[in-house]
Structure 1
Amino acid sequence: MGAGWGITLPLTKIAVSTGYQHFGLIFWQLVIGAVLMSVIGLIRGTKLPVTRPQLAICLMVLMIGTVLPNTTSYQAAVHLPSGILSLLLSMVPMLAFPIALAMGLDRFSWPRLAGLSLGLVGVLMIAVPGAQAMNLSVFWIVVALIASLCYGLEGNLVARFGTAGLDAFQVLYGASLMGAVMMLPVAVLTGQWIPPGAALTPEGQALIAGSAIHVLVYAGYVWMVGRAGPVFTVQVSYLVTGFGVFWAKLILDETYSPGIWAAMALMFAGIWLVQPRRKSDLVADG
Structure 2
Amino acid sequence: MTALPPAATRRGALALVLALVAMGLAWGLSQPLSKILRSEGHAVLGIMAWQNLISAGLLWGICVLRGRMPRITRRRLWLWLFLSLSGSVLPNAASYVAVGHLPAGVVAIVIASVPLFALPMALALGNDRLSAARALGVLFGIGGVVLIALPEAALPAGSEALFIPLALLAPLLYAVEGNVIARWGMQGLDAVQALAGASTISALITWPLALGTGQGMSVAPPWDAGHVALPILAVSSALIYAGYVWLVGRAGAVFAAQISYFVTGGGVLWSMALLGERYSLWIWAALALMLSGVALVRPREPEPDVRPSEGAIP
TM bucket (normalised to shorter chain) is: 0.7 to 0.9
| 2:112–2:142 CA contact under 8 A, matched in 1 | no
Q: How do residues 5-16 of structure 1 correspond to structure 2 at under 5 angstroms?
A: 5-16=27-38
Give how far 1:181 is off.
1.7
Matched, 1:187 2:206: no
Q: How far apart in 2 are the matches of 1:67 and 1:129? A: 33
| 1:132–1:257 CA contact under 8 A, matched in 2 | no
Matched, 1:65 2:87: yes
Residue 142 of structure 1 aligns with which residue?
A: 165
Q: What is the letter of the counterpart of residue 253 of structure 1?
A: G
Number of residue pairs matched by the alignment? 278
Decide which structure has greater helix share: 1
Residue 129 of structure 2 aligns with which residue?
A: 107
Q: Which runs of 5+ in 2 are unaligned?
A: 1-21, 303-314
Q: What is the letter of the counterpart of residue 5 of structure 1?
A: W
Deviates most, 106-115 or 257-266: 257-266
Residue 246 of structure 1 aligns with which residue?
A: 269
Q: What is the letter of the counterpart of residue 28 of structure 1?
A: W
Provide TM-score, normalisation by structure 1: 0.82
| 2:35–2:104 CA contact under 8 A, matched in 1 | yes
Q: How far apart in 2 are the matches of 1:22 and 1:185? A: 13
Residue 79 of structure 1 aligns with which residue?
A: 101
Q: How do residues 173-252 of structure 1 correspond to structure 2 at under 5 angstroms?
A: 173-197=196-220, 200-221=223-244, 229-230=251-252, 233=256, 236-252=259-275
Residue 30 of structure 1 aligns with which residue?
A: 52
Provide TM-score, normalisation by structure 2: 0.75
Residue 172 of structure 1 aligns with which residue?
A: 195
Residue 73 of structure 2 aligns with which residue?
A: 51
Matched, 1:39 2:79: no
| 1:101–1:108 CA contact under 8 A, matched in 2 | yes
Deviates most, 217-226 or 245-254: 217-226
Matched, 1:91 2:113: yes
Q: What is the letter of the counterpart of residue 39 of structure 1?
A: G
**CA 1:104–1:144: 2 relative to 1, 3 Å:** same
**CA 1:29–1:130: 2 relative to 1, 3 Å:** closer
Deviates most, 37-46 or 261-270: 261-270
Give how far 1:156 is off.
0.5
Q: How far apart in 2 are the matches of 1:141 and 1:6? A: 18
- Structure 1 vs Structure 2 CA RMSD: 3.2
Deviates most, 155-164 or 232-241: 232-241
**CA 1:191–1:138: 2 relative to 1, 3 Å:** same
1:144-194 deviation line (CA, Å, top 9, x unaligned): 111111111100011222211211211100111122122211112222222
Q: How far apart in 2 are the matches of 1:59 and 1:198? A: 34
